[in-house]
Amino acid sequence: MHKRQLGTGGPEVSAIGVGCWSFAGAYGPTTEAESHDTLAAALDLGIDFLDTANVYGAGVSEKVIGSFIKDHPHKFTIATKAGIYRDPDTNVRSFNNSPEHLREALEKSLRNLGVDHVALYYIHRREAERPIEDVMETLVRFKQEGKIGGIGFSEIAPFSLRRAQAVHPVMAVQSEYSLWTRSPELGVIQACEELGVAFVPFSPLGRGMFADTLPDPQSFGDGDFRNGNPRFVEPNFSCNIKALDAFRAFCKGRGVSPATVAIAWVLEQGDHLVPIPGTRSRKHLEQLAAGESLKLTPDDLAEIAKCLPPGFAYGDRYSDAQWPGAERYC
């Protein structure tokens, strides 16, 4: 698999990474053995970039990765995150970017992973009241101490990225981006390219909408993120299924899976993009990896644009309860 660089002067990683939220059951129940098989498949396919977070299953995702890399050291470039806090008594979510919280979270993540250093450390959500310049100073200290290799932010606006970059180079920004969520095209992707920052799209498969088997909201478990998401409730969900008909027919005509085409399309949007699809299946990961070698012609891209124009999806990408913390802009 070809490599792409994480920011200016950052490490080279596989053009596709693995988003590891699913290791904690975000899209249905799973087991450590199933997750380990996915990680083994990643190595077989040349995928060496993993994305996790301290809140994914309250550390479960990190621990699953840690138990695997204990027997496979130095094989993966690992990114994790902090900044989201859940009250253990009320489960109410808030955001904390204080030096004390970030240090405590980082030390716990390193223990979960069984390492003394992570290549990339993201602020998962910004604490709006705290100046981003102050947060950067904390992260720079972590870097100087050798605990992190680079600094990242999740779901921030271009103006916040520019403020952070003025303090110290940012390695990566991640946001939801796919054929079904195009909002980063309104400034984040361009700002990242201008500043030499990697853009890391999460959910590049539209939270399962581009899988071979379409999701069934009736089968979503209690912990499934898509429960209550506006795009997965009626009447929006049925409209979204119908809206995909032409695209799925296009993929069938090309003899490739919708997932493969969706990944190929994301990679076409710039050399600084490194998508991190999530999966619990070796077979599915193979389909995703195939997207790295699928070359879409100008005619292909034009046909895809006709099938799925920007803004085609019915419903907002987050519910009111899911929105807090993600910076909106434009």
| Of 29-43, 200-214, 221-235, 262-276, highest mean pLDDT | 262-276
pLDDT band at 21 (very low <50, low <70, confident <90, very high): very high
DSSP for 42-54 reads HHHHT--EEE--T
pLDDT confidence tier of residue 221, bands split at 50, 70 and 90: confident
* Contact between residue 229 and residue 319 where contact means Cβ atoms under 8 Å apart: yes
pLDDT of residue 89: 83
pLDDT in tens, 44-93: 999 999 999 999 989 999 999 999 999 999 999 999 999 998 887 887 88
What pLDDT is recorded for position 74?
A: 94
Instruction: Give, as one character, the DSSP assignment of residue 187.
Output: T
What pLDDT score was predicted for residue 326?
A: 85
Structure tokens at 254: 């090309």
Domains of the chain: 3-307 (3.20.20.100)
End-to-end CA distance of the chain: 36
User: What pLDDT is attached to residue 107?
Assistant: 98
Copy the structure tokens of residue 69: 């890399």
313 or 330, greater pLDDT:
313
* pLDDT of res. 90: 83
Reported as a single tens digit per residue, the pLDDT across 269-305 is 999 999 999 998 888 999 999 999 999 999 999 999 9
What six digits make up the tokens of 12?
A: 């080279």
The pLDDT tens digits for 97-153 are: 999 999 999 999 999 999 999 999 999 999 999 999 999 999 999 999 999 999 999
**Confidence band (pLDDT; 50, 70, 90) for 222?**
confident
Once rounded to an integer, what is the mean pLDDT over residues 189-216?
Answer: 95
Distance between CA atoms of residues 121 and 172, nearest Å: 9
pLDDT for res 138 = 98
The two beta strands, 3-5 and 12-14, are antiparallel
Question: At residue 190, does pLDDT exceed 80?
Answer: yes
pLDDT, tens only, 231-265 = 999 999 999 999 999 999 999 999 999 999 999 99
pTM beyond 0.85: yes
Classify residue 218 by burial, with Cβ atoms within 10 Å: 0-12, 13-18, 19+: exposed
Q: Summarize the confidence of residues 154-172 as an average pLDDT.
A: 97
Contact by Cβ (8 Å): 257, 287 = yes
Q: In DSSP terms, which residues pair with 247 in a beta bridge?
A: none
pLDDT over 90 (residue 26): no
Give the strands of the sheet with 151-154, arranged side by side: 18-19, 49-51, 77-82, 120-123, 151-154, 172-176, 198-202
Nearest to 201 by CA among 265, 106, 135, 125: 265
Q: CB atoms < 10 A from the CB of 140, how many?
A: 15
Beta bridge partners of residue 276, listed in sequence order: 202
Provide the annotated active-site residues: 56
- Residue 320 binned pLDDT confidence (cut-offs 50, 70, 90): confident
What's the whole-number average pLDDT of the chain? 94
Given pLDDT bands bounded at 50, 70 and 90, which one contains residue 219? confident
The yes-or-no verdict on residue 224 having pLDDT over 90 is no
Contacts of 148 (CB under 8 A, 6+ apart): 106, 117, 118, 119, 120, 121, 139, 142
Residue 204 confidence (pLDDT) = 96
Identity at 75, one-letter amino acid code: K
pLDDT of residue 281: 85
Query: Quick one: which of 111, 117, 151 has its CA closest to 135?
Result: 151
